[in-house]
Structure 1
């Protein structure tokens, strides 16, 4: 609740500490939170300004917590009032937008977004506004945003938004890709693979889509097309669904015999998707010789003599 009224972690931690103490000095608080007295004094001053703490009458150099029910309630009421006003403004602005959209001519169903920063902003906004599902094409070359910088995706997954992601095969060679995919899977991100894709793309809730004006070349991130509800958006969604139906599932749950189930399953998946022994080994952090040894062991376990037979057997046994 405290974080919800706008206090950061440092202010929240110190306020909780003061709540649990009859009174405390700046030096005592600094020792407890392993910060300098100067840093703590600044936080104490801000908490005092907000009315969350007060000076002790008998010892002005010590602070005490104000009753939370007295100090926090006005702040919560003010926050609720502001949220209500923001919601009313959102409804009004959405209605104005709806009226304007209804008068759009055919060419106006597409907005042109110019500039790399503006494209990245729209990319993040689509994810931040998603309530149910986000569908994405990921090409091997990065244009919209690096995965490590895409904090909007993490926030959306935390809200329960489902992600359907189709990546080009070459994306699998990015360092740490498998680990990231497995971390995201429990939160609702499903990844599938195709050899190549025609363009990068993101669709939010089947309500709006963003795709680059150019999918390849030096200008691939300098502009994008924002597609509003229309026959064109329906076509974009249908194309994604067609590619999704023909793509290969990346994360599998089939059990493998032996002591290295997860690694062997990932190895089989990568090899079946067409990666070389060297590329698969680099992704998994193992040598080419180790890749070849594990493949030989899997062939022996499956009772086959060729890699093609191993692939067929792996699919039949749901190892991948």
Structure 2
């Protein structure tokens, strides 16, 4: 947690240990940290330069920790000051940029990014720079960035950035498609399913967008679009696909679903609810069984039991009853 003020893991561990012990010599500290004595000494020297530790004047060879409230407080104050100066500089540069780009040339409204690494890096930057919302269309065959590589999504979500994502149904057939979808829903992202998505697209805060520029078989490239009529068109494309797509939820709201122990052992469990959500998204029984690692007959048996539970004869009726009872979202 102290890496923000420039301490690595070994240095933070050494400081925490010194705080807990009050004082320690190098062999004792190295033993507690399971480090060679040379590395323990390097960590102590670094703490000394930061004002977090000092050699004892009463007992040579022993090190003592500086009081955290004073030592860490000073470092944090310095860090805040440096951040404030950086913000002032950023604001000044932004003002200069706006003055220079008051009438941007056409070529300033678009940016071509070439190469898988460059595309992935720019994609990450867009998400980390988002302040309010990220809107995305996700195709079944990502070229430069896969779901498992896109950790910027987790960082942005943790800051309160809203995500609205439409994924192509084909994506659920992948090895990690369903697990990635569950992780997104657990982060309170809004996810919808479409039979086909016209293109991969990401729009951040309505001020910038990114779309693929080349097809399969060539070097990955993308177009980053700034405020312009083209950006408005891409935003409109996303909203159109969003409105026509089917919302998906793979987890139950425990407040609305009766569970075992509530007196009804026939109520749907979490597996039943996932089966329902995937069926409503248009997957076949076989695809559902594959995604949930169940047998085909198990899926069919569970669906039949749910139909008997609500007293209906068709799956269409079951879908309606599942919505009416709050088992799935519209």
Structure 1 and Structure 2 fold alike (TM over 0.5):
yes
Where in structure 2 are the equivalents of 1:92-171 lying within 5 Å? 92-171=92-171
Match of 2:261 in 1: none
- Pick the aligned partner of 1:238 from 236, 239, 242: 236
Q: Secondary structure at the match of 2:80?
A: helix
Following superposition, the deviation at residue 185 of structure 1 comes to 3.0
Q: Is the 8 A contact 1:112 1:224 kept in 2?
A: yes
Residues of 2 paired with 1:100 and 1:112: CA distance? 21
The answer to whether 1:225 aligns with 2:223 is yes
Q: Secondary structure at the match of 1:171?
A: helix
Match of 1:57 in 2: 57
Q: Is the 8 A contact 2:144 2:220 kept in 1?
A: no
Residues of 1 paired with 2:190 and 2:10: CA distance? 36
Match of 2:248 in 1: 250
- Pick the aligned partner of 2:312 from 285, 304, 310: 304
Q: CA RMSD in A?
A: 2.4
Pair 1:10–1:280, CA change in 2 (3 A)? farther
Q: Is the 8 A contact 1:160 1:187 kept in 2?
A: no
What per-residue deviation string (whole Å, max 9, x for no partner) do you get for residues 98-125 of structure 1? 2343322345321112222221111011
Following superposition, the deviation at residue 202 of structure 1 comes to 0.7
Match of 2:24 in 1: 24
Q: Which moved further from structure 2: 281-290 or 6-15?
A: 6-15
Following superposition, the deviation at residue 230 of structure 1 comes to 1.4
Match of 1:68 in 2: 68
Residues of 1 paired with 2:291 and 2:300: CA distance? 15
Q: Is the 8 A contact 2:26 2:41 kept in 1?
A: yes
Residues of 2 paired with 1:38 and 1:286: CA distance? 55
Residues of 1 paired with 2:177 and 2:6: CA distance? 35
Following superposition, the deviation at residue 172 of structure 1 comes to 1.8
- Where structure 1 has 5 or more consecutive residues not aligned to the other structure, the ranges are none
Q: Secondary structure at the match of 1:20?
A: helix
**What TM-score does the superposition give when structure 2 sets the normalisation length?**
0.87
Length, aligned pairs only: 318
**What TM-score does the superposition give when structure 1 sets the normalisation length?**
0.89
Residues of 1 paired with 2:89 and 2:8: CA distance? 27
Residues of 2 paired with 1:81 and 1:106: CA distance? 39
Pair 1:247–1:100, CA change in 2 (3 A)? farther
Q: Which moved further from structure 2: 305-314 or 227-236?
A: 305-314
Q: Secondary structure at the match of 1:102?
A: coil
Residues of 2 paired with 1:156 and 1:64: CA distance? 40
The answer to whether 1:7 aligns with 2:7 is yes
